[in-house]
Amino acid sequence: MSSELRHIHAETLLELARDHENLRVLEADLMGSVSTGKFQAEFPDQFIQCGIAEANMIGVAAGLSATGKVPFVHSFGCFITRRCYDQLFLSGGYAQQHINIFGSDAGVAAVTNGGTHMPFEDVGLMRLIPDSVVIEVSDAAVLKKAMHYSYQNPGVNYIRSTRKDLPELYLSPDEIEIGKGKVLREGDDLTIIASGLSVHDALEAAAEVEALMGKTVTVVDMHTIKPVDTELVIRCVNKTGKLLTVENHNVTGGLGDAVIAELLEAGVAPTAFRKIGVREQFGQVGSLDYLKDQYGISAQAITEAAIAILD
Amino acid sequence: MKSNEYLREIEHLNLSIKAETVKALLHLGYGHFGGSLSISETLACLYGHYLHHDPANPKMADRDYLVLSKGHAGPALYATLALRGFIELETLKNINANGTLLPSHADMNKTAGVDMTTGSLGQGISCAMGIAMGTDTNVFAIVGDGELQEGQCWEAFQFAAHHQLNNLVVFVDYNKRQLDGYLDEIQKPFDLREKFQAFGFESVQVNGQDINQICGAIEQGLASKDKPTAIILDTEKGQGFPSIIEMSSNHHLRLDDDLRSAILKDLDVIEQRLESLK
Give per-residue pLDDT as tens, A157-203. 999 999 999 999 999 999 999 999 999 999 999 999 999 999 999 99
With contact defined as beta carbons under 8 Å apart, do B106 and B74 qualify?
Answer: yes
CA dihedral A54, A57, A62, A68 (to 10 degrees): -150
Residues of B whose CB is below 8 A from A87: 120, 123, 126, 152
Q: Predicted confidence band at B4 (pLDDT cuts at 50, 70, 90)?
A: confident
Check whether residue A94 and residue A152 sit in a common domain. Answer: yes
Nearest CA of chain A to the CA of B88: how many Å? 23
Contacts of B127 in chain A (CB under 8 A): 59-60, 62-63, 66, 91, 95
Query: Model confidence over A215-258: pLDDT tens digits?
Result: 999 999 999 999 999 999 999 999 999 999 999 999 999 999 99
Choose the mutation target among A52, A60, A65, A91 for the interface with B, i.e. most B CBs under 10 Å.
A60
By the 10 Å C-beta count (0-12 exposed, 13-18 middle, 19+ buried), B158 is classed as middle
Question: Same domain, yes or no, for A193 and A100?
Answer: no
Q: Does B122 touch chain A (CB under 8 A)?
A: yes
Average pLDDT over residues B236-255: 96
A176 within some domain:
no
In sequence order, the β-bridge partners of residue B68 are B142
Contact with chain A for residue B62, Cβ under 8 A:
no
Cα–Cα distance measured from residue B51 to residue B69, given in angstroms and rounded to the nearest whole number: 17
Do A132 and A85 have their domain in common?
A: yes
On the question of pLDDT at B123 being above 90, the answer is yes
* Mean pLDDT score, B186-200: 98
Amino acid A96: pLDDT = 98
The per-residue pLDDT for A1 is 46
- pLDDT tens string A120-148: 999 999 999 999 999 999 999 999 999 99
A258 within domain boundaries:
yes
Q: Which of A102, A132, A161 is the last residue of a domain?
A: A161
Number of neighbouring beta carbons within 10 Å of residue A217: 26
State the pLDDT at residue B1. 53
> Do residue A220 and residue A134 come from a single domain?
no
Contacting residues for A296 by C-beta, under 8 A, at least 6 apart: A276, A277, A278, A279
Other Cβ atoms closer than 10 A to A211: 9
pLDDT computed for residue B81 by the predictor? 98
Lowest mean pLDDT among A32-41, B130-139, B207-216: A32-41
Average pLDDT value for chain A? 97
- From A99, A128, A161, give the residue that closes a domain: A161
Same domain, A21 and A133: yes
The angle that helices A5-19 and A140-152 make with each other, rounded to 10 degrees, is 30
Phi and psi torsions of B229, nearest 5°:
-120, 140
SS3 of residue A4 by DSSP: coil
> Are A15 and A127 part of one and the same domain?
yes
**pLDDT at residue number A144:** 98
DSSP state of A228: -
DSSP string, B139-165: EEEEEETTGGGSHHHHHHHHHHHHTT-
Substitution target from B108, B129, B147, B150 for chain A, most A beta carbons within 10 A:
B129
Domains assigned to chain B: 4-277 (3.40.50.970)
Amino acid B151 reads G
pLDDT at position A3 is 80
Residues A142 and A254 in one domain: no
Instruction: Collect all residues of chain A within an 8 Å Cβ-Cβ radius of residue B122.
Output: 55
**Same domain as A118, residue A10:** yes
What's the mean pLDDT in B148-165?
98
Give the DSSP letter of residue B113. T
Q: State the smallest CA–CA distance between residue A63 and chain B in angstroms.
A: 4
The domain in which residue A186 lies consists of 182-310
> Domain with A56 in it: what CATH number?
3.40.50.970
Kindly provide the residue ranges of all beta strands, DSSP E only, lying in A31-187, ordered along the sequence: 47-49, 70-76, 99-104, 133-136, 156-161, 182-185
Residue B62 pLDDT > 90: yes
Mean pLDDT of B4-31: 96
Cβ <8 Å between B130 and A67: yes
- Residue B192: what are its φ and ψ, rounded to 5°? -65, -40
Distance CA B156, CA A216 (A): 56
- Does A91 contact chain B (CB < 8 Å)? yes
The reply to whether A190 and A303 lie within a common domain is: yes
* Residue A7 contacts residue A13 (beta carbons within 8 Å): no
Q: Which of B127, B138, B140 to mutate to test the interface with A (most CBs of A within 10 A)?
A: B127
User: For residue A172, how many other CB atoms are within 10 A of its CB?
Assistant: 9
Strand order in the sheet with A242-250: A182-185, A217-221, A190-194, A242-250, A272-278
A25 and A56 belong to one structural domain: yes
Q: By C-alpha distance, which of A169, A166, A180, A173 is closest to A141?
A: A173
Number of structural domains (chain A) is 2
ipTM: 0.95
Same domain, A48 and A132: yes
Domain-located, residue A300 = yes
The C-alpha of A253 sits at a distance from chain B's nearest C-alpha, in angstroms, of 25
Residue A243's pLDDT is: 98
- The CA distance from B28 to A274, in Å, is 53
- Whether B135 and A65 lie within 8 Å, measured CB to CB: no
Q: ω before B58 within 30° of 0 (cis)? A: no
Query: Which residue, of A109, A132, A161, is where some domain finishes?
Result: A161
| B residues 130-149 closer than 8 Å to A (CB) | 130-135
Residue B235: is its pLDDT beyond 70? yes
Q: Please list the active-site residues of A.
A: 54
Is B134–A68 a contact, with Cβ atoms under 8 angstroms apart?
yes
* Whole-number Cα distances in Å, B144 to A26, A113, A244, B69, B235: 27, 38, 52, 8, 11
Looking at the structure, tell me whether residues A225 and A304 fall in a common domain.
yes
A224 close to A199: Cβ distance less than 8 angstroms = no
State the pairing for strand pair A70-76/B177-178: unpaired
**CATH code of the domain containing A208:** 3.40.50.920
Residue A90 near chain B (CB below 8 Å)? yes
CB pairs under 8 A between A and B: 101
Q: How confident is the model at residue A2 (pLDDT cuts 50, 70, 90)?
A: low
In a domain, A106, yes or no: yes
**Do B84 and B18 touch, CB atoms closer than 8 A?**
no
